[in-house]
Chain A
Amino acid sequence: MSDVLTLEQVCITDGGQTVIEADCTIAPGDVLTIMGPSGVGKSTLLAFVTGTLKRAFTATGRVLLDGADITALPPHRRQVGILYQDDILFPHMSVGQNLAFGMAPGGTRAERRAAVSAALAEIGLEGFAHRDPATLSGGQAARVQLLRVLLSQPRALLLDEAFSRLDTERRTQIRRLVFDMARDRDLPVLMVTHDAEDAKAAGGRIITLGD
């Protein structure tokens, strides 16, 4: 598992007006940060990478994952994970079911449950499998989301202002956890943020937009 994420001459326009352009390569385990105030099209770029760009936009360029062109693939076949600032845990599923939702199919029920429990234990949430996501604290929810993405075995990770809703203390903690785990798994990470602290903590290249 060592993939390179490439955005090749990507240009997104809205009614003829350029929203954002990007041409970059992110090596396995590296973090590329795109910085800028809200409204400069950072999230639009991520939507292009996940394959969920709104109809109103037109995009040219390609997204390559380890050299293979994934631009035309539907979102569920791209193997690109994403984390948002808000907690997007599915409210009708338990914590365990949320994690199992992202796991590749296969194995018996007991095996899948064991895998979920083990993963929860790894991030310090032992015994949380049956919890209602609405009862989690912000930090816990963030960790469960990260875990859910990782269990789906993505080949690249996108972070959309993923830490902006956390308080300062948790923020540092979660940030470190995310970057460590991405590095452990050799994932290329593309992060958009408006926060300089985030960019600095990422330790990779920083592209600043719209100043």
Chain B
Amino acid sequence: MERGQVSAAQVAVLSFTAVTATSLLTAPTVVSSVVKQDVWLSPLLALPIGFLIVWLIVKLNQIYPDQTLVQYSMKLLGRPLGIAVNLIYLFFIIHTTAYVLRQFTDFMKLTFLFTTPAFVVASSMILVCALIVRSGVEIVVRFPMLLLPVVLSLILMVYMPSIKDINLHNFEPVLSEGLVAPLKGAFRLMSWVPVFTFMNFYLPFVSNKRHVLWWAFGSVTIFTAIVFTTFVMVYAIIGAATPIYVYPFMVLARFISLTEFFEHLESLVMMVWVIVIIVRISFGLYSASLGLAQCLGFPSYRPLVLPISMIMVLLSYWSVSNVEFVFSPEFIIYYLIFGIGLPALLLTLSTIRQRFSKPHNGQDEQGEYNV
């Protein structure tokens, strides 16, 4: 149904942009409220888990090169159980993307558009994402690639003037409570890292599959690097007051005053965030539409995009008074089940299947290379 061709680099850029999206703004608060001054260790401790998740997905893609998770889970778990698990997985994707939309709407209403109805903000965002998704996978992956220089330069424009305010003493005492605190922080970061699993919907279209693993690891590394830099900058400048602010990155932007002319550059942050959230939502929307179309055997995913986006807007408001709970431990379990649990289960099932069906081979699709 989808005949686009993308490259591994584009998928990597898409993944790390999408995952960095929500983390950039709210992660410092969430993690530093638990960890205090060792906040810079948490991304480094979360890095291996990111590698694990990505490795699981790529390995599964090597075994089933042209299939997404929805398709090979139906194959591995049998049809009825597979469809049930897929529907729950798709609900997970739609649900989490809806909460991203909700975070974004809250941010916009709190900082910029005070009186605009939230419905307008959310629908305008989701309509742009639906436009991207309907145009095909090539547009979905080319879009972040094209805007990456813009995003990076805008982020740098917020960081560079702040360098003079860095106070490295904020990080002392280092590791006062031992490694437990950064580990807790790394656990909190798991609100964002399992989103890397959505990459499995794009891997079947990659043309140069040989380099996929390295690019995937690279994207996790870049994500970690960006989060690390953000944590360092934010905590070095704002210090122990970080957990008080809901959006510490915005506080950084507000502090900037270069020659008294470039002031109040939080609009730059807003522009960065809009672009990056569009990437994240289209990442999730495309995965959900494609997954649903493949799960139920439809020829094309395009008609499903608008209803799913409508459901996303609705879910972002259904019984959610504030989005604080998204960072709570219950939700992190929810993320981890579908982020690590499901791919790990599928990988074990497929290895078992391979072991036991070795005599009569040739039924499964085998990749020609292994990692």
Task: Tell me, yes or no, whether A binds B.
Answer: no
